[in-house]
Chains A and B, each alone.
Chain A
Amino acid sequence: QVQLVQSGAEVKKPGASVKVSCKASGYTFTSDGINWVRQAPGQGLEWMGWISAYTGNTNYAQKLQGRVTMTTDTSTSTAYMELRSLRSDDTAVYYCARGGSLGWFDTWGQGTLVTVSS
């Protein structure tokens, strides 16, 4: 079955960086893209961006431009999301979700809690 498995929880200090991984299985990794969505505690869902696993092309949310980088490793079917210059309001659960150009997210990872605290 199609599955996305994410790396474990992280605790970071303000100003640090975090890199979250998302390993795909059960489908051809390069046939689709990976989106990243985050959810602050008690809040709604915020789309962060998308990467094509085939071309590596990216599309980032403007508010995160310059702080976020999404990459993929096709040899291991793994996607990565790195967020730099962390602030307290980056504390959230970060999800990867499979999705193509039609824009719906049909499979989600289990989520990775990133806590930013001094």
Chain B
Amino acid sequence: DIQMTQSPSSLSASVGDRVTVTCRASQTISSYLNWYQQKPGKAPKLLIYAASSLQSGVPSRFSGSGSGTDFTLTISSLQPEDFATYYCQQSYATPRTFGQGTKVEVK
């Protein structure tokens, strides 16, 4: 199975901050990398697919980059509604696997 490792596991930030979350795959996955946002008690929401494509309706402050084994999710200017947990997920092979999550908290 392909292991996905996110860093950091949690971070504290303020509204307006630039936030970066990284995700590393245990083997090359080309650009088959997706990002989700999950708020407490809610289902995950797709933000970015195929490493850098913004899902329809998602604000442009979210962006994704990377290929191969190393990927990044960036929030250019953190908004109050962005405090949540973020997961990466590989779709290169089955079983689909997720990172352990990165919780973005209020500083």
Indicate if the CB atoms of B44 and A103 lie closer than 8 Å.
no
How many A residues face the partner with a CB closer than 8 A?
21
What 0/1 pattern do residues 71 to 107 of B give for CB contact below 8 A with A? 0000000000000000101111011111111000000
B-facing residues in A83-114 (Cβ within 8 Å): 95, 97, 102-106, 108-111
* Chain B interface residue number, banded: 20 to 34
Indicate if the CB atoms of A47 and B45 lie closer than 8 Å.
no
Indicate if the CB atoms of A104 and B91 lie closer than 8 Å.
yes
Indicate if the CB atoms of B100 and A44 lie closer than 8 Å.
yes
Q: Out of B34, B94, B97, B100, which one reaches A104, CB within 8 Å?
A: B34
Indicate if the CB atoms of A103 and B43 lie closer than 8 Å.
no
Whole-angstrom distance from the CB of B30 to the nearest CB of chain A? 11
Residues of A within 8 A of B (CB): 35, 37, 44-47, 50, 59, 61-62, 95, 97, 102-106, 108-111
Residues of B within 8 A of A (CB): 32, 34, 36, 43-46, 49-50, 55, 87, 89-92, 94-101
